[in-house]
Amino acid sequence: MKKHTVKMSVRPHPQVLGEKDLDAFLDLTLDSLLLIVSISFLKTARVYVQKRLVVSWRRTLTSSMHRTYFVNVRFYQLNVLGG
pTM over 0.75: no
52 or 31: which carries more pLDDT confidence?
A: 52
Residues belonging to the chain: 83
Alpha carbon separation from 4 to 7, 21, 26 (Å, rounded) = 10, 31, 26
Q: Confidence band (pLDDT; 50, 70, 90) for 7?
A: low
Q: Confidence band (pLDDT; 50, 70, 90) for 51?
A: very high
| pLDDT score for 57 | 97
Lowest mean pLDDT, pick from 3-7, 8-12, 52-56: 8-12
